[in-house]
């Protein structure tokens, strides 16, 4: 008998694969999971999709990677959770968990006795993150967001974790690689990296559209990382990356209407007009101008804007 991988309630013998539901204590929904225990020893990798329930391309990409992996080809262990936040997925809830209105990707490491999103984050971290060596979290533009594909790694004090994460983030056929120093706390990749687990986010696809092209882009990137980590045989594909250290988010400070004047991928200059916030009579309340020269990496495309909603981000 070979070794058995026990992860959460799931148990997979060596050289086998299981598709089943992951049950997390105090989390209402069960999470569909593909668990592959390869026929040879190697690293353990977690692939997440759907932390944000409307980022459909990420969900499709994770699901296809999970369905495709065969234990005979895998040296190591992989768990894929394509719909990591089922309540948000079925509620078609933008950014937040429908029951507590909290953004799961701001909640890590979560709270054992917290609200729905906090408990989900807590158990994902305790039961899954802490059992793996690498975390790949797939995202995209949410239902109301357009974006240029990019990847993100967390700038942590552990140089080895930082360098490995940066290398993983560079293995997608995606131009922009962002080093983030934790301006957005509570993220999956930041939490994992601070615990010594190299981790990244890859973002492709947008606006509630399941993009086959961007799904393949994400799937190929994940497989490329698995090759580079030695879990799959093959050649590592290297592509050129543009490294970005400034990731400037602009947020609304009113509830009203948003009229952007730029598009994703536009190069903007410092001081350039990016768009305006208006009241319900169409009168301009605030003009948004760029603090830096850079590229518009994501853009909220919803006319309706709530107080503190993101509007866009410029990378430089």
Q: Is 52 among the residues that bind Zn ion (CB under 5 A)?
A: yes
Least separation in angstroms between residue 285's CB and Zn ion is 28
Q: Which residues pair with 21 in a beta bridge?
A: 32
Q: Is 77 among the residues that bind Zn ion (CB under 5 A)?
A: no
The Cα–Cα gap between 215 and 56 comes to 9
The Cα–Cα gap between 24 and 19 comes to 16
The Cα–Cα gap between 176 and 169 comes to 9
Asked if the peptide bond before residue 109 counts as cis, ω within 30 degrees of 0, the response is: yes
CB within 8 Å of 101: residues ≥ 6 apart: none
| Residue range at the interface with Zn ion (CB under 5 A); choices 54-62, 79-87, 186-194, 287-295 | 54-62
| Residue range at the interface with Zn ion (CB under 5 A); choices 17-25, 46-54, 226-234, 261-269 | 46-54
Of 248, 301, 292, 306, nearest to 141 by C-alpha is 301
Least separation in angstroms between residue 52's CB and Zn ion is 3
Q: Is 97 among the residues that bind Zn ion (CB under 5 A)?
A: no
The Cα–Cα gap between 124 and 108 comes to 9
Least separation in angstroms between residue 104's CB and Zn ion is 9
| Residue range at the interface with Zn ion (CB under 5 A); choices 10-18, 139-147, 149-157, 225-233 | 139-147
Let me know: does 191 contact 129? Beta carbons within 8 Å: yes
Least separation in angstroms between residue 103's CB and Zn ion is 9
Q: Is 102 among the residues that bind Zn ion (CB under 5 A)?
A: no
Q: Is 139 among the residues that bind Zn ion (CB under 5 A)?
A: yes
Which of residues 84 and 225 has its CB atom nearest to Zn ion in the complex? Answer: 84
Which of residues 188 and 290 has its CB atom nearest to Zn ion in the complex? Answer: 188
Place of tokens 């301006």: 183
Query: In Å, how far from its chain's centre is CA 114?
Result: 22
Least separation in angstroms between residue 86's CB and Zn ion is 15
Which of residues 96 and 132 has its CB atom nearest to Zn ion in the complex? Answer: 96
Which of residues 29 and 137 has its CB atom nearest to Zn ion in the complex? Answer: 137
Place of tokens 């509570």: 186
Which of residues 267 and 306 has its CB atom nearest to Zn ion in the complex? Answer: 306
Let me know: does 94 contact 143? Beta carbons within 8 Å: yes
Contacts with Zn ion, residue ranges (CB under 5 A):
52, 55, 139
């Amino acid at each position: 008998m070979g070794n058995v991988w026990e992860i959460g309630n799931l148990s997979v013998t060596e050289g086998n694969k299981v598709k089943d539901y992951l049950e997390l204590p105090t989390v209402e929904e069960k999470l569909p999971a593909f668990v592959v225990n390869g026929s040879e020893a190697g690293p353990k990798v977690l692939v997440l999709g759907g932390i944000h329930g409307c980022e459909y391309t990420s969900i499709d990409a994770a699901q296809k990677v999970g369905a495709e992996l065969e234990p005979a080809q895998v040296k190591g262990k992989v768990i894929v959770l394509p719909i990591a936040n089922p309540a948000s997925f079925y509620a078609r809830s933008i950014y937040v968990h429908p029951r507590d209105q909290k953004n799961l990707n701001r909640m890590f490491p979560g709270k054992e006795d917290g609200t729905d999103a906090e408990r989900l984050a807590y158990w994902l971290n305790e039961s899954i993150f802490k059992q793996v060596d690498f975390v790949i979290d797939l995202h995209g533009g949410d239902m109301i967001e357009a974006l240029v594909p990019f990847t993100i790694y967390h700038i942590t004090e552990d140089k080895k974790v930082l360098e490995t994460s940066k290398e993983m983030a560079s293995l997608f056929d995606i131009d922009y690689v962002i080093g983030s120093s934790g301006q957005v706390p509570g993220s999956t990749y930041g939490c994992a990296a601070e615990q010594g687990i190299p981790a990244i986010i890859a973002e492709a696809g947008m606006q509630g559209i399941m993009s086959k092209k961007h799904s393949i882009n994400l799937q190929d990137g994940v497989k490329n990382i698995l090759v580079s980590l030695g879990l799959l045989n093959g050649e590592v594909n290297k592509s050129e990356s543009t490294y970005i250290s400034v990731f400037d988010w602009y947020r609304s400070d009113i509830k009203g209407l948003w009229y952007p004047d730029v598009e994703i991928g536009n190069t903007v200059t410092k001081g350039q007009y990016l768009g305006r916030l208006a009241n319900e009579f169409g009168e301009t309340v605030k003009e948004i101008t760029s603090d830096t020269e850079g590229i518009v990496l994501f853009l909220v495309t919803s006319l309706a804007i709530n107080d503190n909603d993101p509007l866009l981000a410029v990378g430089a």
